[in-house]
Structure 1
Amino acid sequence: MRRSVELQIITEALSKLGPHTPAARIWGRAPGATAEQGADGNVWAGDVRDIALHIVSRLYGRPSAAAAASPLAQAEGHKRARDIVGETGVLTGAHEELVSAKWHPLRPGDLVHVAFEQAGEMAPFGETYAVADAGGGLMSMKLLAHTARDEDADSMVGCFATEASDAPLYEAWFEAGPQRLVVVRDGLVVHNGPGA
């Protein structure tokens, strides 16, 4: 299972070390190195993301490339196991990951793409939503396009559309999962779940 929340927290913590934030690389001295030995051969450097991945792998196991279950599916698994701490931890972690994202909340003009894997006889497909102002501080998410087959379109397509919501991405974030979402703002990808 991918440990995206833990990886993000550790990456952010490491990038905020020291006076130069955000840090891109971390430098250190090898354990047991003394000043008399000199700096040659005793100094190491690593990218923040690589070091965070190393820490997450040591703590939780190596993240897999396979698609992780959505936060809602993970919470259901904990619920079946009667693990209330795990259930609330997954839901709270997913909420924090969303609301702490630099691009959150969505803005009018944002595009949200959801990628669905194959499920049974249903072929993989994607759908794209446009975010618009619905008035009164609310936002809408309207389906723009999809790649579903005609026989699958009636049952699945457009399930995350909303007419007016204060958090239009919330349902897709929890049900599909952040790893299946791409958010585009002003032509730039601000969240690339599949590419994370």
Structure 2
Amino acid sequence: MSANRRPAVRRVDPRLEIMTETIERLVPGATPAFLSVTVTETLPDTTGHDGEPHKHTWTGPPQALAERLFTALHGRPRTEEPASPLAEAEGAKRRRDIVGEASALMSAGTALESAPWYPCRPGDIIHLHYPPAGDFPAFGETYLVGDAGDGLMSLQRLAHTWPEDWSDGSGSGFLVEGADCPIYDLWFEAGPHLLTVVRDGRPVHVGAR
């Protein structure tokens, strides 16, 4: 079963998670469940019955503030599982949306080629995550980008946590003997949201969690 055909599951955009965690860390060591954020406007040259300046306040949990910031920057956060570029293009094709089909593929290509870590380098580690679906638990595959010679790169499988039904190795077809971009099929068919790219021991691309 390919990654882009798995049922949707509820997810949180990692950018929203990062915003939330950053706000929570404003109080070192705090328990997130006990935190709240208060934004106060103090009106100058005004006083109340208590002799203090008039104030307007907003109070809410870190998550609420993070969601407001995220929406202002990126639009409302998506809670459904993102689709792979190929799945988006196929959906547009079924709707006879030629512009949408081309846009899905072109946008994915631009996102890949404009990534600060692109192109891949020999020694890069690529992790592919498969979300749980039906009777299948979550599992994954780990690949190594190798030097195939003549300026080309390969993609070799290092490890996997396949279900038993995949023990014959038929479950994945992302091995590459030599290509300019060995993760091209992974990027378009599985989707960048399911990929993690590690370079020199550091993650340089982390898909949705």
- Matched with 1:113 is 127
Looking at structure 2, the residues matched to 153 and 121 of structure 1 have their Cα atoms a distance apart, in angstroms, of 16
Q: Aligned-pair distance for 1:73?
A: 0.4
Which structure has the greater CA radius of gyration?
2
Structure 1 pair 79–104 and aligned structure 2 pair: CA distance change class (3 A) = same
Unaligned runs of 5+ in 1: 8-40, 42-48
Query: 1:169 corresponds to which letter in structure 2?
Result: I
For residues 66-99 of structure 1, give each alpha carbon's deviation from its aligned partner in whole angstroms, at most 9, with x where no partner exists: 3211110010000000001111111110000000
Looking at structure 2, the residues matched to 114 and 81 of structure 1 have their Cα atoms a distance apart, in angstroms, of 29
| Alpha carbons 2:70, 2:77 under 8 Å: kept | no
TM-score by length of 1: 0.69
Greater relative contact order (Cα < 8 A, sep 6+): 2
Q: Aligned-pair distance for 1:53?
A: 4.0
Looking at structure 2, the residues matched to 124 and 52 of structure 1 have their Cα atoms a distance apart, in angstroms, of 28
Query: 2:98 corresponds to which letter in structure 1?
Result: I
Aligned residues: 163
Structure 1 pair 139–50 and aligned structure 2 pair: CA distance change class (3 A) = farther
- Matched with 1:180 is 194
Structure 1 pair 140–151 and aligned structure 2 pair: CA distance change class (3 A) = same
Looking at structure 2, the residues matched to 109 and 187 of structure 1 have their Cα atoms a distance apart, in angstroms, of 10
Counterpart check, 1:126 vs 2:140: yes
TM-score by length of 2: 0.65
| Alpha carbons 1:182, 1:194 under 8 Å: kept | no
For residues 132-183 of structure 1, give each alpha carbon's deviation from its aligned partner in whole angstroms, at most 9, with x where no partner exists: 10000000000000001222233314x2110101110110000000000000
- Matched with 1:99 is 113
Unaligned runs of 5+ in 2: 1-7, 16-54, 56-66
- Matched with 1:136 is 150
Look up the SS of the partner of 1:54 in the other structure: helix
Looking at structure 2, the residues matched to 189 and 93 of structure 1 have their Cα atoms a distance apart, in angstroms, of 23
Q: Aligned-pair distance for 1:120?
A: 4.1
- Percent identical across equivalent pairs? 48
Look up the SS of the partner of 1:123 in the other structure: coil
Residues 1-196 of structure 1 mapped to structure 2, 5 A cutoff: 51=69, 53-57=71-75, 61-64=76-79, 66-154=80-168, 155-157=170-172, 159-195=173-209
Query: 1:54 corresponds to which letter in structure 2?
Result: A
Looking at structure 1, the residues matched to 113 and 167 of structure 2 have their Cα atoms a distance apart, in angstroms, of 31
Looking at structure 2, the residues matched to 105 and 136 of structure 1 have their Cα atoms a distance apart, in angstroms, of 16
